Amino acid sequence: MSARKSDENGIVVIGLGRFGCRLAGALTRLGHEVLAIDRDPEKVQRWSSELDRVVQADATEEGVLRQLGVTDFRRVVVAIGASIEASVLTVLALAELDIPQIWARANSEKHAKILSSVGANHVIFPEAEIGERVAHLIVSRMLDFMEFGDDFAIAKVPVIDGMIGKPLRDLAPGERYGVMVVGAKLPGERFRYAGPDTVLTEGSVLIVEGSIDQVQRFASMA
């Protein structure tokens, strides 16, 4: 197979710790071919029956990655969390192989700077991102929350009592609450885009967007 030339679906995941194995499993369920690599034979054995391809190898070696066919993939995720040295050396090896998209997990800001300096295109902080998300869920009635850059967020919240039985056109949530209702799920129905004529009923769930503070305040009223 030559994923880079003919198959954009393939993704390499290096490191099968808690984050890496869940990521690899989620990608597989989404229909992507996954090549998983870990130096621990027990982890390789454990996940070999659940993932497409699981290989025991030292991913810090450029030659090893080349032999495994990693250069055929456009996207590689370095999910190593236990060893900063191993994660940095792996990213460096991938950069030497000219992998177009290198995603890397970081444990700290300093770690992230090093990963970026040696070739990581995207640096992620799984624990920090989850902690931020859970904090918002705990202190409000939000059912789900996703924060983006530039002070922007999207949240799933239960409908506010004062919005029941009226079309969104009359409610003007942007003017009154500072948020835009982009989707709604009425009881017994599927989620759908919300428009000016959408009338909310008791038990409805909304998808709203706005600044983080606006979304937080709106959810606190729900």
Q: Is the pLDDT of residue 110 over 90?
A: yes
Tokens (6 digits) for 101: 């998209």
Q: What does the pLDDT read at residue 91?
A: 97
Q: What does the pLDDT read at residue 147?
A: 76
Q: Is the pLDDT of residue 64 over 80?
A: yes
3-class DSSP assignment, residue 150: coil
pLDDT in tens, 171-183: 888 888 888 999 9
Q: Is the pLDDT of residue 170 over 60?
A: yes
Overall CATH class of domain 3-124: alpha beta
- The C-alpha atoms of residue 111 and residue 50 are separated, in whole angstroms, by 31
Q: Selecting from 3.40.50.1980, 3.30.70.1450, 3.40.225.10, 3.50.50.60, what CATH number does the domain 129-221 have?
A: 3.30.70.1450
Q: What does the pLDDT read at residue 160?
A: 82
Q: What does the pLDDT read at residue 208?
A: 92
Q: Do the Cβ atoms of 19 and 105 come closer than 8 Å? A: yes
Helix (H) / strand (E) containing 145: strand 144-148
β-pair type (122-124, 101-105): parallel
Q: What does the pLDDT read at residue 216?
A: 84
Q: Is the pLDDT of residue 133 over 70?
A: no
pLDDT band for position 219 (50/70/90)? confident
